[in-house]
Amino acid sequence: MTEIVVRGLYIGRFQPYHYGHQSVLERISKQVDEIIIGVGSAQMSHDINNPFTAGERIMMITRSLEDLDCRYYVIPIEDLQRNALWVAHVTSISPPFQRVFSSNPLVVQLFSERNIPVESPEMYERKSHSGTEIRQRMLSGGDWQKLVPPAVVDVIEEIKGIERLQRIAGTDDE
Ligand code: ATP
Ligand code: MG
């Protein structure tokens, strides 16, 4: 008989990947057999709220989770400009999953309406550990490095991510 593998889906934009995400994934890894990490808004990059490409975000995630004791798959998920069809869109490209983990209210609403229950993991130091706060610190020269795993610092350095973000935040007005 084939064994039943329980897979959990975790979706985020990961702009950038931080210790809040890592702490959730460590907890999820104890509750399922395999994890699917969906990289949302995959088509976006070089934008003040979405500075990093899907490939760069996948590098951040894969390198940071090297020691995770659970098999995982990272899949890019492009936006669909139709929220009502979004769950079907995700399901159509993801490996099969039985559980969803998210605290994002829209994600919770859309899956719940399709009768797929969503578990919302507890937040980990949310005030500082949020993509918005980290991008803000990157722009203002604040200390963002301690909020992300060392592998994320390495990736951002390699791609000159801070220079990118600071430049695209500028204007061409005099
Ligand atoms: P942004 O501010 O850009 O929205 P974010 O920190 O919310 O960034 P997302 O990629 O939007 O990051 O989040 C992916 C998932 O991780 C969401 O379900 C979100 O609620 C959750 N999450 C974000 N920060 C934390 C945290 N500190 N602790 C636990 N979960 C978190
Ligand atoms: Mg968010």
Give the pLDDT confidence of 122-165 residue by residue, as tens digits: 999 999 999 999 999 999 999 999 999 999 999 999 999 999 99
What pLDDT score does 169 carry?
94
CA of 104 to the centre of ligand 2 (A): 6
Q: Is residue 68 part of a domain?
A: yes
Q: Is residue 31 part of a domain?
A: yes
Q: Is residue 27 part of a domain?
A: yes
CA of 15 to the centre of ligand 1 (A): 9
The pLDDT of 81-91, averaged and rounded, is 97
Q: Is residue 1 part of a domain?
A: no
pLDDT, tens digit, for every residue of 100-129? Answer: 999 999 999 999 999 998 999 999 999 999
Ligand 1, pocket-test mutation among 27, 102, 130, 139, most atoms within 8 A of CB: 130
Q: What is the CATH number of the domain that holds 91?
A: 3.40.50.620
pLDDT, tens digit, for every residue of 26-37? Answer: 999 999 999 999
Q: Is residue 45 part of a domain?
A: yes
Number of the ligand closest to the Cα of 61: 1
What pLDDT score does 1 carry?
72
Atom of ligand 1 nearest to the CA of 122: 29
Q: Is residue 2 part of a domain?
A: no
Q: Is residue 93 part of a domain?
A: yes
Atom of ligand 1 nearest to the CA of 13: 10
Question: How many domains in the chain?
Answer: 1
The whole domain housing 61 covers: 7-169
Ligand 1, pocket-test mutation among 11, 22, 104, 120, most atoms within 8 A of CB: 104
Q: Residue 39 in contact with residue 12, Cβ under 8 Å?
A: yes
Q: Residue 36 in contact with residue 9, Cβ under 8 Å?
A: yes
The binding-site residues of ligand 1, defined as CB within 6 angstroms of any ligand atom, are 12-15, 20-21, 24, 102-104, 121, 123-126, 129-132
Q: What is the 3-state secondary structure (H, E, C) of the chain?
A: CCCCCCEEEEEECCCCCCHHHHHHHHHHCCCCCEEEEEECCCCCCCECCECCCHHHHHHHHHHHCCCCCCEEEEEECCCCCCHHHHHHHHHHHCCCCCEEECCCHHHHHHHHHCCCCEECCCCCCCCCCCHHHHHHHHHHCCCCHHHCCHHHHHHHHHCCHHHHHHHHCCCCCC
Q: Is residue 174 part of a domain?
A: no
